[in-house]
Chains A and B, each alone.
Chain A
Amino acid sequence: MKVNHTYEQPLLWLLILTLAGATSCKKSFYTDVNVNSNAPTPASIVPKVLLSSVEGGIAYTQGGDISRFASINLQQVKGVSRQAQGYYQYTYTSQDFDNAWGNLYADVLENNMLLLQMADAKGYHAYAGIARILQAYTLQIVVDTWGSVPYTNALQGVANLKPAFDNDRVLYDTIGRLLDKGIADLNDPDPGLLKPTDDDVLYGGKAAKWIKFAHAIKGRLFLHQSKGNAAMAASALTEFALSFTSNDDNAQYVFGNTETSGNPWYQFNEQRGDISFSSGNVATIMIGLKDPRLPILIDTTTASKNDGLLYYGVINAPVEFISYDELLFATAEAVLRNGGSIAAAQVFYQQAIHENMSKLGVKDAGITTYIAANGTLPVNANDAIVQIASQEYLALYLNPEAWTVWRRTNSPALTPTTGSNIPRRLLYPQTEYSYNKANVPTSVTLSSPRIFWDN
């Protein structure tokens, strides 16, 4: 056969060479296309974007899942349908706690740890201090809810996917150290090159306020352990004295006005509406006491879709971490546990009610009338603590600390909705049983083991 090779053979070789050339492409020909161009590089991350997400994360989780579990267990509110109805009767499964646990560890503690490490490495002392205080606060919520939990070996990503659990009492010391170091960081004359401003929704970067907040948390730690331990109570008093001096100092996260930045209770009521506030125990007690806070907190007049949550249920409602009135109640209790006089405690007790009411916008006349009726403590210290706690049950409406107060004081007296025990802790989440089986304690129920300070 005859083929004209004059142009065909060169063409063939050209094609083959082109083809061969295509194989010798650089590595970057492949690897460059596999990067996520919608994500910032780690080098471009600055502390403020981490602080924002951490503060929002704590507030949303505390005000969401944790607040719901605590206030339902405590009967401050009543679960009336679907899951909330089940929770109200303590039909919890481990799976119910995956969300809260995941948010606290992965959304909050992990990113705050990254913030802390970055701030330390770059000498951003102001950020380092705030990060330590927020870590301490979050860890305290976790310990008060679940007791012994992972921390020392946690938050290390792939380096340790199955972190061991730390003893809860030891973790309280860890929290204390975090706070001490945080205060020291904030007292450093050099705040560092980058300083928090508006990204700090809690305090706008004001170091003095953060230091007061740190003392408030420390005070909580001591008070929780002060039952029958005057020294702890004394330490709590020392910390409280260094802490908030008015409601302006309150540690709280104020949510936004938009659907994607709204308060968790607002979102829950919009989406679910399974919880009744008007038929909860707080509404019942406040009706009995003719409490002037009732119309501010709960609308009991209409069977509205959101069942009446007012102050804490609006879209931009704050989630309070620690407020001045809580510290005053706590001080009153600490005074008594430290052997102080009823009269001395009563001053703080009355002031606590006053500050709580004025925070909510109750008129002075109403406050005066209420204190006249409810502001006198019984002469016996234990009875006095019971009465303080019963008022805290109202003042700390929807705040998970109320559950802690109740667990320490058993006040007010509550009747379990089913069975014979009101939950004294939450179950470990299913994900820990599934993916960290070797470490997670077994035989955990809603009643035991209790948190170390719950005795």
Chain B
Amino acid sequence: MRKFLLLAVSCFLFSVLTKAQTQEVTGKIVDSTGMPLSGASLRVKGIKAGASAGPDGSFRIRLPLGSTVIVSAIGYATQEIKAVSGAPLTITLLNNSRIMNEVVVTAIGIRREKRELGTATQTINADQLSKSGTGNPLSELNGKASGLTVVNSSGDPGSGTYIRLRGVTSITGNNQPLMVVDGVPIDNSINNYDPTSTGNLASGANGNLLGGAQPTNRGVDLNPDDIESVTLLKGPAATALYGIQAASGALIITTKKGGVGQGPVLTFNSSFSVDKVSKLPQRQSLYSQGNNGLYVGPAGDPKTNKFTWGALIDTLYRDGIADAYDPNGQIVGASDPTRKMKAVVYDPYKFFEKGLIYNNNIALSGGNGKSAYRMSLGNLHQTGIVPLTKYDKTTFNINGQSALSDRLSVSGGINFIRGASDKAQQGSNTSGIMLGLLRTPTTFDNSNGLKDPAKNAGSYLLPDGTNSQRDYRGGAGYDNPFWTINRDPFHEDLLRAFGYGQASYRLYDWMTLAFKVGGDVYSQNDKNSYDIGSNVSPAGAVHLSNYYNQQYNSDFTINMKKTFSDDLSGSLLLGQNYFTSNVHTKLAHGSGLVLPDFLDMANATSYTNQEFDSRRRTSAFYGEGHLAWRDMLFLTVTGRRETSSTLPAKNNSFFYPATSLSYEFYKTGGANSNTVLSYGKLRASFAQVGKDAPTQGLNTYYVSAVVNDGFTPGIQFPINGNSGYQLGSAVAVIGNANLKAEKTNSFEFGTDLGFWKNRVTLNATLYYSKSSDVILTVPVAYTSGFAAQLLNAAVITNKGLELTLNTTPVNSRDWRWDVNFNWARNINLVKSLATGVDKLLIAGFANGEVDAVAGQPFGVIFGSAYVRSNPADPNSPLLINDTKKDPGYGMPIVSSQNTPLAKIDPDWTGSVINNLRYKSFSLGVQLDIRHGGHLWNGTRGAMSYFGTSQETANRGQAVTFKGVAGHVDDAGNIAHFDPSGAEVLKPGGPNTVATKYNEYYWQNIGSSFIGPAETAVEGSGFVRIRQASLGYQLPAAVLKNMHLKSLSLTLFANNPALWTKYKGVDPETSLAGPANGQGLDYFNNPGTKSYGIRLGLSL
């Protein structure tokens, strides 16, 4: 590799250094606004001579007098001028407005016209990026490109956003795209510790994060107001230069910069919006707390007062004597002489508040003839729909660039981010907000009738002064949500800085050297406490987590370009990359608190601590050759040789190539052409990309011993002063010293077409990729002494089609209407996992898992189903229990075998983005569609078990279940009883037994809590209005009088309308947060819809 590099450089050196007898011409190349066009190139027609403009746009070229110079720059119309010597020339290039000439930033900061690319990319610009006022750059991308999946985990302030390009390629590793800001990769980790988790899978991309508070992925820290554009590099061919980190695609984010030669511009953007709960599960309002049709109150038997299977509320009264549980007193029956008033149904959803979001940004930018700068300050302040939750983010960005000479230019930028959030407990967590709220019976008022229950301890404390919790079970079971927000707080603090510095030197007109270093450093500090009496930690606990992450990146590049003839030109990029990351995590746990309402480490009586260090280092040589023939055929070849610290020395270097071809088969001469087809391009690419292993995967390590089970947190050493260590354990993974890099091969074909003067453009991309040797932790039999082994094993394929159709049906002086469509379908298949392993848990519960199953798409809901009359045919009639003595007589039967039930990912997704402008008014509406795909709605399953869900209101109603009579005999065979009562080994006739929807049915047969997971599988498709906005831009004439550059006012709405059959919260939800285990809903906190107003001002 070294030799090759030297040779290539020298070849270029000697071949171009030919000198001609000529005269010198100097000048400057600028755009229509007078901004210098650094890097614009000049080429003398007919001979091999050329030059390029320096950072300040200036050039110097020797050429025979009278010859023609062709001046070109990326994104600008090429010009030909006659060269004359004398005074310096100023050449103005005009912006090329044709859609197909859009310039995109591809890998390693290469700027290239889109038409030259052989791969699919899509760019989302600033005006599309701060529409929602949420300050979340990732959720802003939702629906704006094809092949892009974005899932906001919940509406909690500061919660995470899962993002994915195309399909899953890794089973247990990261599937989110690399985020690159101004050429430097930044961290998008999930740092989370779930104290309610009983396993050791408490954090990471594949974490089984089922409880705790909603985790955040750090990609949401960026301020969307600072972003100029986001380019999505979707496939391996587009990202091949970035290597392993971008194996799942890349988001190339370019921040806003100041303009060289522009006077100072002060910009102020401010928005205010109000959040509301978007959607909540429906509850029944007919029956009271209790069991078997009898009322049992908070002071009653805790074995039965957990249920809402009590009496008809209509028959109940209150005695009017205020007590600890209700200001209207205890519930009594109609015949009770102490009865006063009728019992009423309480609405637990009054718990939610209006959330408020204030988003303010101020920026100053400008420059002189050689330099430019921009600085900005942004603040997001948000209060959540869950009382007492909030998120506060302040960002400061400063960047600048300067041409120090006509050869040397430097640039740099830095971002500071401070974030602080108070989050709510969620999910499978007895202190979770929704768990307590949705199990609360109809006849219990969590707020105790108080006006401001979130701030009044009377809602969640018993009045006896013992600091005991007031909840519907008399202290047992689940926390009163008002207790949770006051006594089980989760606070997160973040301090982060990332930025870059770059120097580039134009050694020759045809060669530029550049060196760029960047870093991203942050410290995240979380504090998660549970007061004494919380159901998660009855003795009280304080958990402190500190995540100190650092990553540094450097790229040294040599850019060379050469014109071989009028027809053929080319460029060569050679580069070296070095990347290192260092993650240090400290966890401190204190338990057994002494004083109530004092959530401090010093208040604990026992402590455990953990430290985790993870370091990773990679370096790579890479190169890209680009050839352009007759300005219509473009060939790009790249290669990267990477060395990673996570692989064994013998396998730690690997090479992967990529190539792509773009052919513009049809270009019309100009805007006046009258043909229907105005542009046509075909593109094709092939790429291979590698991916390294998780850190520290080569060895098996002794760890501090933990012993637990599925029900309890267990014991952790040291205990009583004795340290304990274990090599084997029920979670121990055997290291593998023979790991090698994962490989993905991909093919992509596409076309870009323009019609009617490019008023309509269509981009279509077909792709296929196959990932093999995918590294995963393969479970092994515990009898080996271990739980799993790290192996290169799985094979995953993705194929798909992506369509983007941009149209401008109306374009006149006053009116413009753009309608853009995105559509994508990805078909994923986990071809194989590992020998003898047909399924692998990704996240979830024993009877509601999200798994990788061989032969199925990644992300399958796996659990128990009803027994069918023909077990081989899932569409055969249900078997209806004909065993008379069973309580489930006449009801379907639950299989004891778990099976794959449904896939999570949708069949296709689409969006329709409308932008209508009339004079100074603009109207934008974005419609998003997700078709197919499923969620596991464990929330409804549990609500039905406890008797609070809407569907259990049918208790007592008669029903004859459809199916055939039968049962499963002791040997597991399907059988039925014939009229004589004899057992016959086949299903019987159609079921005729009339039964009732009752408590037994809803607890054991009809819901998923202990019944079949099948009943919790629901379609997660939807149609929604993602965003709507109405804006007004002050006309230029008015602005002039006000000494303003621009002033706009926008009314906007996020998620104002949602159509879905999903019965839970907003179907865009994820219990496990922004991790691989999508598709689970178990008491997830709800999503939001919001309405707001935005003011934009610049002067």
Contact = CB atoms under 8 A, between A and B. Distances in A.
A8 B576 CA distance: 20
B719 interface: yes
A65 interface: yes
Contact of B784 (A103, A111, A156): A156
A388 B976 CA distance: 45
B714 A60 contact: yes
Nearest to A304: B302
A38 B715 contact: no
10 contacts: A19-B5, A23-B1, A36-B701, A38-B610, A53-B724, A53-B725, A60-B714, A103-B709, A303-B302, A434-B838
Interface of A: 1-3, 8, 11-12, 15-16, 19-20, 22-23, 25, 27, 29-31, 33-40, 42, 45, 48-50, 52-53, 56-57, 60-61, 64-65, 80-83, 86, 91, 93, 95, 98-103, 105-107, 109-111, 113-114, 149-150, 154-158, 160-163, 198-199, 201, 255-262, 264, 267-268, 270-273, 276, 303-305, 307, 429, 431-432, 434-437
A110 B476 contact: no
Interface in B981-1038: 1010
Contacts of B507: 3, 8, 11-12
Nearest to A163: B783
A173 B973 CA distance: 38
Given A107-B729, A157-B786, A52 B713 contact: no
B717 A16 contact: no
A27 B653 CA distance: 11
A63 to B, nearest CB: 10
B732 A305 contact: no
B493 to A, nearest CB: 24
Contacts of B728: 105-107, 110-111, 114, 155, 157
A160 B690 CA distance: 31
B792 to A, nearest CB: 14
A52 B781 contact: no
Given A40-B702, A42-B702, A110 B727 contact: yes
B19 interface: yes
A22 B782 contact: no
A45 B723 CA distance: 11
Contacts of B606: 256-261
A64 B710 CA distance: 10
A276 B301 CA distance: 12
B88 interface: no
B780 A99 contact: no
B689 to A, nearest CB: 20
Contacts of B61: 1
A144 B621 CA distance: 61
A39 B725 CA distance: 10
Given A52-B723, A60-B707, A34 B696 contact: yes
B787 interface: yes
Interface string B39-77: 000000000010100000000111000000000000000
B715 A262 contact: yes
A99 B836 contact: no
Given A101-B782, A105-B785, A431-B779, A157 B725 contact: no
Interface string B1-40: 1100110010000000001000000000000000000000
Contacts of A432: 781-783
B320 to A, nearest CB: 27
Given A22-B576, A37-B613, A303 B303 contact: yes
Nearest to A15: B513
B1010 A155 contact: no
A99 B709 contact: yes
Nearest to A17: B6
B705 A52 contact: yes
A20 B727 contact: no
A34 B645 contact: yes
Contacts of A52: 705, 717-719, 722-724
Interface string B604-648: 011010111101110101000000000000000000000111101
Given A105-B785, A150-B783, A267-B713, A260 B302 contact: no
Given A99-B709, A157-B728, A261-B606, A33 B700 contact: no
Contact of B716 (A49, A98, A260, A429): A260
Nearest to B785: A110
Given A31-B652, A110-B785, A163-B783, 12 more contacts: A30-B645, A49-B724, A53-B707, A53-B717, A103-B730, A155-B728, A158-B789, A198-B721, A259-B539, A271-B712, A271-B713, A437-B836
B377 to A, nearest CB: 37
A57 B695 CA distance: 28
A111 B896 contact: no
Given A107-B730, A260-B591, A261-B606, A48 B710 contact: no
A98 B898 CA distance: 15
B1067 to A, nearest CB: 28
B541 interface: yes
A435 B780 CA distance: 6
B201 interface: no
B125 interface: no
Given A1-B61, A19-B556, A56 B715 contact: yes
Given A1-B19, A436-B783, A30 B644 contact: yes
Contacts of B303: 80-81, 276, 303, 307
Contact of B787 (A22, A106, A111, A257): A106
Interface in B771-826: 779-787, 789
B1041 interface: no
B716 A261 contact: yes
B939 to A, nearest CB: 16
Given A56-B705, A93-B896, A260-B713, A305 B475 contact: yes
Given A20-B6, A45-B702, A161-B789, A305 B509 contact: no
B960 interface: no
B782 A256 contact: no
B252 interface: no
B715 A31 contact: no
B782 A105 contact: yes
Contact of A100 (B539, B612, B709): B709
A258 B605 contact: yes
A455 B707 CA distance: 34
B1076 interface: no
Interface in B458-485: 475-477
A63 B703 CA distance: 23
B719 A56 contact: yes
Contact of A15 (B477, B556, B649, B652): B556
Given A16-B6, A155-B784, A39 B621 contact: no
Contacts of B722: 48-49, 52, 198-199, 201
B877 to A, nearest CB: 24
B698 interface: yes
Given A1-B62, A36-B701, A111 B727 contact: yes
A372 B785 CA distance: 51
A205 to B, nearest CB: 12
Given A27-B649, A261-B715, A435-B837, A273 B476 contact: yes
Contacts of B903: none
B865 to A, nearest CB: 14
B109 interface: no
B699 interface: yes
Interface in B516-567: 537-539, 541, 556
Given A39-B701, A49-B723, A53-B726, A65 B785 contact: no
A211 B896 CA distance: 45
B675 interface: no
A347 to B, nearest CB: 38
A437 B780 CA distance: 11
Contact of B617 (A16, A33, A264, A307): A33
B578 A22 contact: yes
Contact of B783 (A56, A86, A154): A154
B854 to A, nearest CB: 12
